[in-house]
Amino acid sequence: MPRKVLSQEEVVTMLTLKEKGMSNKAIANLLGVTEGAVRYRLRRAENGQGDGRCQKKAFAAKYDAEIRSWVRAHQDPEAEADPQPHEIQVRALYDWLVSEHQYPASYRSVLRYVRKIFPKAKLRPFRRVEMPPGAQAQVDWFDAHVHLAGEGRCKLYGFIMTLSHSRKTAVVWRRGMNQLHWHAAHNEAFRRLGGVPAVVRIDNLKTGIVRGSGPWGKRNPAYQEYARQVGFHIDACLVRQAHHKGKVERRVRDVRNLLGLEQRVFESLEDLQAYTDERMAWAAAHRRCPATGKTVEETWLSERKLLRQPESLPNPFDKSVLREVSNECLVSFEGRCYGVPFRYCGLQVHVRGTATEVEIYHDGKKLISYPRGTERTTLVDPVLCYEGPGDDRVAPPLPLGKLSQRILEIASANVECRSVDYYAAIAEEVGR
């Protein structure tokens, strides 16, 4: 039987039942403790003593100086003199005690002592904020086991985006949650919402924040580039603060209840998406927006006019790097070299890796694209990269010589193999 700490009310109940003549075994079964615990309590009561265990000194108290010095060293200099227990990383403190001082007791012994010696955390109320139209959207993932015909019950991931003002919600189903799925889900959600808000509030998932958390975390470079092109600001919540995006958190529960996926069978993922879109449209027409008192649909129709309308949404990509174009009009990416139009020589370009292509951009304009992951390690389009007029900054490359032109003409004739003597004869002909 697991150990149980009796409350004061249970101790009084135990004494009362004993006075009524109930046996120790019956009292133990009623309160869910051992008979030894009952005998201990009764004996202490007869002697006029309380629970002696509460007087026992905590084992972690032997390391009081070490614990306080560690807390002072890791405390924010601008914080109050006495940190609150929830502000102390007790797990890190425990690991430090074990490694540096060979602390022999359990993690919970340190946790209990920290809670005892530092003041109780203050009650902090939440601030409710109603965002103006077009200002913010909140996003989240949820998973569900859906029955697809031909596949059986499989795990799918729902991407949910909610406009904070109107509460208009879009749900996009994906088979994964990697960077490509993350960007693709954003694209589909923006299309369903009719535009892009100024700010998108996210969790601290790796597709959005690669290091750290919250406003001070390092943004995922690919997602940062995606947000820059689409035109929104990334706003990451503080860690373990789900109420900071409570509007979308609430929608996750509502969407599960609205769709009722457990009782349905869908022909395909497309069939599931069409059904979801239909149900979300029904919900928007019947739900009330607390900010306006109108329906979500009516409020959204007004908010949609204030959403940004990008010229186009980029292809989903999982990698984006900044590269300077070399004098040979090449940039490196994933161990390969890709040609860039010569007018961008010496400038920095963004190189993106989509599911099938490598795309090269400058100032949001797509310059050129190549197949991704080919066996070739150098890919160049001679016409797009080296032909055409120059500009005030860059002169066009020198034209090919007669010999080079003649060899390229022969190569373009789809001849598999020619003798070296043949090319030597061509060189003599050109040299005359």
Digit-coded pLDDT (tens) for 4-29: 667 778 888 888 888 888 898 888 88
One domain for residues 103 and 35: no
Residue 339 pLDDT exceeds 80? yes
Does the residue 122 lie in any domain? no
Of the listed ranges 40-49, 184-193, 229-238, the least confidently predicted one is: 40-49
One domain for residues 206 and 274: yes
Q: ∠ CA(219), CA(241), CA(178), 5° rounding?
A: 40
Name every residue whose Cβ is closer than 8 Å to that of residue 135 and which is 6 or more positions away in sequence.
Answer: 164, 165, 197, 198, 199
Q: Region 418-423: what's the mean pLDDT?
A: 55
One domain for residues 50 and 74: no
One domain for residues 330 and 360: yes
Q: Region 191-205: what's the mean pLDDT?
A: 95
**Number of domains forming the structure of the chain:** 5
One domain for residues 146 and 246: yes
Digit-coded pLDDT (tens) for 55-81: 567 888 888 899 888 888 876 555 555
Residue that is last in its domain, among 244, 276, 306: 306
Model's pTM, two decimal places? Answer: 0.68
Q: Region 348-376: what's the mean pLDDT?
A: 93
End-to-end, the C-alpha distance of the chain in Å comes to 104
Residue 371 pLDDT exceeds 90? yes
pLDDT at position 157: 96
- In the numeric block, the tokens 């919900």 are attached to 283
pLDDT at position 305: 94
One domain for residues 36 and 75: no
Query: What's the alpha-carbon Rg for the chain, to the nearest Å?
Result: 34
Does the residue 164 lie in any domain? yes
Phi then psi for residue 122, to 5 deg, are -70, 150
One domain for residues 183 and 288: yes
Digit-coded pLDDT (tens) for 222-239: 999 999 999 999 999 988
One domain for residues 81 and 189: no
- Its domain, for residue 330, covers 317-386
Would you state the structure tokens that stand for residue 3, as one six-digit string?
Answer: 């150990």
pLDDT at position 57: 75
Residue 304 pLDDT exceeds 70? yes
One domain for residues 236 and 340: no
Q: ∠ CA(244), CA(248), CA(250), 5° rounding?
A: 95
**Stronger pLDDT, 145 or 118, i.e. the higher one:** 145
Q: Region 380-407: what's the mean pLDDT?
A: 83
Residue 324 pLDDT exceeds 80? yes
Residue 426 pLDDT exceeds 70? no
pLDDT at position 69: 87
Q: Is 155 exposed, middle or buried (0-12, 13-18, 19+ CB in 10 A)?
A: exposed
Q: Region 323-336: what's the mean pLDDT?
A: 94
pLDDT at position 230: 94
Digit-coded pLDDT (tens) for 239-255: 878 788 889 998 888 99
Digit-coded pLDDT (tens) for 95-109: 899 999 999 989 888
SS3 of residue 156 by DSSP: strand
CB 24 within 8 A of CB 39: yes
One domain for residues 18 and 103: no
